[in-house]
Amino acid sequence: MRRCAICRPATPANAALITLTALALSLTTLSALAGTLDPIRLRVSGKEVALKSPPVTDGHEIYLPLDALSAFGVTYAVTRREETAIVALPNGLKTEVALARPGRLPMLPLSAIAKPLGIVVRMREGWCEVRRAGEPEPAERVVLPTKTDQARQPRILPEKRPQTVPTPTNVQSAASPDENPIVTAGPRAATGSKPPAESKIHLDLPAPKFGAGSGHSDGQAVQQPGGVENGSNQTQNPGAPAGPGTLASRAAVNPSVIGARPVIPGVQIEDVEFTAAGDNAAHIHFKTSSRVTPTTKLLSEPSRLAIDVPNSALETGKRDWEVAHPFLSGIHATEGDRPGITRFVLDLSRLVTYRVLPSEADGFTINLGLPRGINRAISELTVVVDPGHGGNEGKNPVGCSVVTGGQCIQEKNLTLSIAKRLQKLLEQEGATVLMTRTSDISVPLPDRPALAIHNSADMFVSIHIDDCPRPNTASGTTAYYSKDDPNGRALAHSIVENIVAVSGLPNRRARSDRERFAGTGMAVLHTGAIPSTLVEIGYINNARDRAKLVNPDFQETIAQAMFDGIRDYVNGALPERVAGPVVPVTSAQMH
């Protein structure tokens, strides 16, 4: 059984050390989650589901234990790395879903299967109530308005709600599966607080039948017969009044109707305020009517920063803000990937770091800055290059491998070859390069980032080859960074964009390692303040990717692209370039 060393100890000799490390990471995870997870009960189509472990919610997402999937008529199989599960839907289609570990047990985010199953989710009084899209909605209790509600508008129960709705207090949202999927329930209080006693969670579910819809595999859309990738049914009411504050007036940014169900934005975006803090920093404040939790994403070709505000409508008539600053030239408002989301796009002029400050009562702020250690020559750098894996576990090689054409192709050999080529390019420019290994030996996981920390390195780059449960179903390059580290994110973005420009491989973007390990992240990226990235160059069990990876010319191309990404990072330059020559692959090479 093939497994990667980042998922288990490399040799028996260091088993005790890895066990202690894992225990410390587990305690850290539990401590970080203390007070933020609430157990809930599950009811499907009006019937309570008995489970060994209860579902939990953090106020953003609902996490289900794996045994809960039988209540939805689906089966599953956990993959070899125990990071994802293959979910077989009632209609015979399958989708790969990333598992989360909000506590000790692997759990599945409900939003990951809600759309493929065509279900509606409702949270109230400690219950997660799930029904099919065609089933009638349970009767609502009459809820007395809070002081906040009274200050805005009296609560109007759904059965009495007119067609034109005044400023609302309920929130309905749909999360994009391309980012960390969340389910938002009402205008949220501070992070970690419990959801309201009664709140609606509306997921964008156009499929009217149980099991219909489209699935997603690790951020990649799975096309269904007659389906539309990431599509949704969006209509507008041309006959609605267009006065200020009406749903029709917001349709320029957000659709007002999904099918026949009105979308009621819970947050009004009132203004965008840009403040320059010299040439090396800037602040953007998004003024909103209440607290909101935005999501961010770096876009490609060209590099831009997208900020998505869920359950929102843009009240100001402005859609564009001109900015004169070394970091960016403009801000634009547009529709997000899903109804009810307002997207702001920042036109970047150079590579920047960014942080989203905790939501305030009147909005949120994004701080822009320069990456750590930029404006330096390559010759001044100390770079730790980490060829992933190495050594053997008994008779089995550490890392991923594939046997094809009578030959065993091993991840550990590919990563070492590319790492040595990168080492040569960096040293030719005068950089100090520290290799975690230079031969086929086993290196304990904690020793890899420790080499960077103990030598005060300027950056840490770990090289890996990816794998997936089903051969020839996944392809592309991913660059992971540690949790929410803005410097690692900038380095990962710079490297992955340079690789995809010359490799001919799909761009799976720079991603937080929390997308694979929700609590602890990746062990090799625990480098403190040192900018770090783990690059999964391609998929070893994809025939086309593999044909490229074993080609020495392609390995040289990848090493040069990684070098260019490092150079762009220290220069603070955006990774925008004309794609170079791509090493061709012939059918004879694809075994």
Judged against a pLDDT cut of 60, whether residue 179 lies above it is answered with no
Average pLDDT over residues 500-509: 93
Q: What pLDDT score was predicted for residue 337?
A: 72
| Backbone φ, ψ for residue 147 (5° rounding) | -65, -35
Q: What pLDDT score was predicted for residue 465?
A: 97
Judged against a pLDDT cut of 50, whether residue 566 lies above it is answered with yes
CA separation (Å) from 542 to 116, 466, 471? 25, 10, 6
| Backbone φ, ψ for residue 458 (5° rounding) | -90, -25
Residue 560 belongs to what H/E stretch?
Answer: helix 552-571
pTM above 0.75, yes or no: no
What does the pLDDT look like over 94-148, one tens digit per residue? 777 777 766 667 888 888 788 778 888 888 878 888 988 777 766 544 444 444 4
Q: Are residues 308 and 176 in contact, defined by beta-carbon separation less than 8 angstroms?
A: yes
The better pLDDT of the pair 566, 7 is held by: 566
What does the pLDDT look like over 444-488, one tens digit per residue? 999 999 999 999 999 999 999 999 988 999 999 999 999 999 999
Q: What pLDDT score was predicted for residue 263?
A: 53
Minimum mean pLDDT range among 210-214, 251-255, 533-537: 210-214
Judged against a pLDDT cut of 90, whether residue 237 lies above it is answered with no
Long-range CB pairs of 280-284 (<8 Å, 24+ gap) are 280/369, 280/370, 281/367, 281/368, 281/369, 281/370, 282/325, 282/327, 282/328, 282/367, 282/368, 283/365, 283/366, 283/367, 283/368, 284/331, 284/346, 284/365, 284/366, 284/368
Q: Which residues contact 80 (CB under 8 A, 6 or more apart)?
A: 1, 2, 3, 469
Average pLDDT over residues 80-102: 74
Most confident of 50-54, 61-65, 189-193, 435-439: 435-439
SS3 300: coil
Minimum mean pLDDT range among 69-83, 241-255, 386-400, 472-486: 241-255
Q: Domains, the chain, ranges and CATH?
A: 38-134+167-205 (no CATH), 267-369 (2.60.40.3500), 378-580 (3.40.630.40)
Q: Which residues contact 263 (CB under 8 A, 6 or more apart)?
A: 172, 202, 247, 254, 255, 256, 257, 339, 340
Cα–Cα distance, 92 to 84 (Å, whole number): 19
Cα–Cα distance, 127 to 171 (Å, whole number): 18
Q: What pLDDT score was predicted for residue 117?
A: 83
Average pLDDT over residues 266-276: 92
Query: pLDDT exceeding 90 applies to what percent of the chain?
Result: 41
Q: Which residues contact 86 (CB under 8 A, 6 or more apart)?
A: 76, 77, 79, 94, 95, 96, 469, 470
The better pLDDT of the pair 99, 574 is held by: 574
Judged against a pLDDT cut of 50, whether residue 192 lies above it is answered with no
Most confident of 227-241, 244-258, 317-331, 421-435: 421-435
Q: What pLDDT score was predicted for residue 228?
A: 28
Q: What pLDDT score was predicted for residue 409?
A: 94
Q: Are residues 538 and 585 in contact, defined by beta-carbon separation less than 8 angstroms?
A: no
Tokens of 458: 């300027």
The better pLDDT of the pair 164, 377 is held by: 377
Q: What pLDDT score was predicted for residue 316?
A: 81
Q: What pLDDT score was predicted for residue 77?
A: 84
Average pLDDT over residues 229-247: 34
Query: pLDDT exceeding 70 applies to what percent of the chain?
Result: 68
CA separation (Å) from 182 to 60, 110, 137, 202, 586? 5, 9, 22, 11, 42
Cα–Cα distance, 107 to 123 (Å, whole number): 18
CA separation (Å) from 520 to 7, 15, 22? 12, 19, 9
Q: What pLDDT score was predicted for residue 582?
A: 53
Average pLDDT over residues 538-566: 96
Judged against a pLDDT cut of 50, whether residue 190 lies above it is answered with no
